[in-house]
Amino acid sequence: MAKILVTGGIGYIGSHTVVELHNAGYEVLIVDNLSNSSIKILDQLHKITGKYHEFVELDLQDTFAVNNFAEQHSDIDGIIHFAAYKAVGESVREPLKYYKNNFYSLINLLTAYPKTNFVFSSSCTVYGQPDHLPVTEDSPVKKAESPYGNTKQIAEEILEETAKVTPGLNVIALRYFNPVGAHKTALIGELPNGVPQNLVPFITQSAIGKRGAIQVFGDDYDTPDGSAVRDYIHVVDLAKAHVAAVKRLEDGKVNGYDVFNLGTGKGSSVLEIIHAFEQSTGEKLDYQIAPRREGDVEKTYGDVTKSKNVLGWQTELDLNEMMRSAWEWEKYLRDNPF
């Protein structure tokens, strides 16, 4: 049984990926520094999988700690690297925090595990504001709109250049669009600290009475209804793509570095998301238009042909299921506070 190290493994996408790795028969080792996650997720994972997965609390910025960890856990067959700061707005306000954390953690991992199959959690933000839609993996990587986006761009360059000169290091970077939703059990989902930086958890918290009106940042974009457009993907579909990437690396089908877009291939506006939530849950939302937010891209959605044809993966869950599952998770949190 292959053993996969999942960094940030009790975070939002990481925890769902642990479930799908377990379902696919992998042994999982989780590391997380708990800066944007809860240790209670380990119990939730046990409820879903029937297993307590091995967990180590580790700050990947700490070079000594990472090297010591690697000496004790040298039997790793692959790495999925989620651990990173991820809020666009916060990165604009605190760029050094993002550069320090997101680069040190990656470099420390690559140094400690120089010849291990590596799946990197990248982002569609590497495309910036695209000239043409949908974006493909060959679309230009433009100047980032935020420090967060810039960390993803530079991290991809680090990985590609390192893989080029390191025999045995094979890398897949997954550029995903906007993950939303929660597991069908409503036992795990997005768990933001403080005020959510992303749209859907703010919607669910507003609907349940935890937040005030939803701010729609901009209604004057060049989009059908004036609000920003994104490609939203169910987190469970996204998790399954990481398993597909691990398998492709295991099968020796990657020589060096490759990259894939992960999304539905369809854009949805902020206002469309609000209306989809209302339709799928029966809850009425209070929202208001606010000025554009610095660092936001007007519209982006991806061409996922390569992921379908080469990775053998495509999405299965629609927008209504994304909204419904996110709402079920929010209600679970209300009744079972973390």
Catalytic residues: 148
Tokens linked to 257: 């570095």
Exposure of 93 in the CB half-sphere (CA atoms within 13 A): 8
| Residue 55 CB neighbours (<10 A) | 19
Return the DSSP state at 10: T
Between CA 207 and CA 9 the distance in angstroms is 28
Is 164 within 8 Å of 256 (Cβ atoms)? yes
Q: Which residue has the tokens 């059908």?
A: 224
Element (H, E) at 325: helix 319-335
Between CA 135 and CA 300 the distance in angstroms is 7
Cα–Cα distance list, 144 to 83, 119, 148, 152, 251 (Å): 20, 22, 8, 9, 34
Give DSSP secondary structure letters for 280-298. Answer: HH-----EEEEPPPTT--S
Torsional class of 96: left (φ above 0), alpha (ψ -120 to 50), beta (otherwise) = alpha
Tokens linked to 77: 């067959």
Between CA 72 and CA 78 the distance in angstroms is 15
First to last CA, the chain: 33
Tokens linked to 316: 């299965």
In degrees and rounded to multiples of 5, residue 199 shows phi and psi of -65, -55
Q: Which residues of 100-126 are buried (b: 16+ CB within 10 A; e: fewer)?
A: ebbbbbbbbbbebbeebbbbbbbbbbb
Q: Classify strands 268-269 and 229-230 as parallel, antiparallel or unpaired.
A: antiparallel
